[in-house]
A = this chain, B = another copy of it.
C-alpha cells in the first residue's frame, strides 16, 4: 500500500491562503473583505467563504461587525504584543516540558525536514514560506505535547503576533535558533531547549 495522500479540505485551503495574505501584508489592516469577490476568486460559493471568514475572525485576524461584513484587523499595540509574547512563551515551554523523553526518532526526522524547508525558503528569500515553516516547526512540538487542544489555544496567538512582523523580514539567525532548539531536544536537555525557545519567541 502506498503512503496515504493528504487530502486538504476546501475550507482549509481557503483559510490558509487568506491567513497567508494577511500575515504577509498583502491584505492591509482595515481592508474590507467581500464575500462575493472571495467566492469568485476561489471558485466556490459564498457558503464556504463565510465559514472561513468566521474562523479567521475567531482567530483574531479579522474583525466582524453585524451586518457589515469583516475587515482585516489592525496590528497589536505594544503592550498587547508583550502580553502575547509572554503567553506564547508559557505555552511553548509547557509543551516541551511535557515532551521530555517523549520524542521519537520519527519526530526528530520530521522536525529536521521542517528545518530544511525553513533553510531552503530562507536561502531563496521566500519569506512567506519561511514564516510557514517557522510556524510548522513550533506547531509540531505543540501538537506532540498537547494535541489539537493545545494547538487551538496557541495558534491564534501566533497568528496575531505575526501580523506585527510585516515586512520586517526575519532576522538571519532564524534558522540557527531553531536548530539550537532541536539539538537541545535531541539531547533531552529541556532547560536548554526552553531557553533557546524563549530566545526565539520575540
Mark A residues whose CB is within 8 Å of B. Answer: 9, 47, 50-51, 54-55, 58-60, 63, 66, 73, 76, 79-80, 83-84, 86-87, 90-91, 94, 98, 146, 148-150, 152-153, 156-157, 160
Q: How far is the CA of A90 from the CA of B91 in the complex (A)?
A: 12
- Given A54-B55, A90-B87, does the pair A80, B157 have CB atoms closer than 8 Å? no
B83, A90: Cβ atoms closer than 8 Å: yes
A157, B148: Cβ atoms closer than 8 Å: no
A50: which of B51, B80, B84 is its contact (CB, 8 Å)? Answer: B51
B86, A90: Cβ atoms closer than 8 Å: yes
A149: which of B80, B148, B150 is its contact (CB, 8 Å)? Answer: B80
Q: How far is the CA of A59 from the CA of B28 in the complex (A)?
A: 26
Contacting residues, chain B, for A51 (C-beta < 8 A): 50-51, 54
| Residue in B closest to A83 when the chains form the complex, CB atoms | B94
B152, A153: Cβ atoms closer than 8 Å: no
B87, A149: Cβ atoms closer than 8 Å: no
A58, B58: Cβ atoms closer than 8 Å: yes
Contacting residues, chain B, for A55 (C-beta < 8 A): 54, 58
Contacting residues, chain B, for A149 (C-beta < 8 A): 60, 73, 76, 80
A87: which of B63, B66, B87, B156 is its contact (CB, 8 Å)? Answer: B87
Contacting residues, chain B, for A87 (C-beta < 8 A): 87, 90-91, 153
| Residue in B closest to A64 when the chains form the complex, CB atoms | B148
Contacting residues, chain B, for A80 (C-beta < 8 A): 146, 149-150
Shortest Cβ distance from residue A164 to the other chain B in the assembled complex, whole angstroms: 13
Shortest Cβ distance from residue A51 to the other chain B in the assembled complex, whole angstroms: 6
Shortest Cβ distance from residue A12 to the other chain B in the assembled complex, whole angstroms: 9
Shortest Cβ distance from residue A11 to the other chain B in the assembled complex, whole angstroms: 9
Q: How far is the CA of A51 from the CA of B66 in the complex (A)?
A: 14
B9, A66: Cβ atoms closer than 8 Å: yes
Q: How far is the CA of A60 from the CA of B55 in the complex (A)?
A: 12
Shortest Cβ distance from residue A195 to the other chain B in the assembled complex, whole angstroms: 19
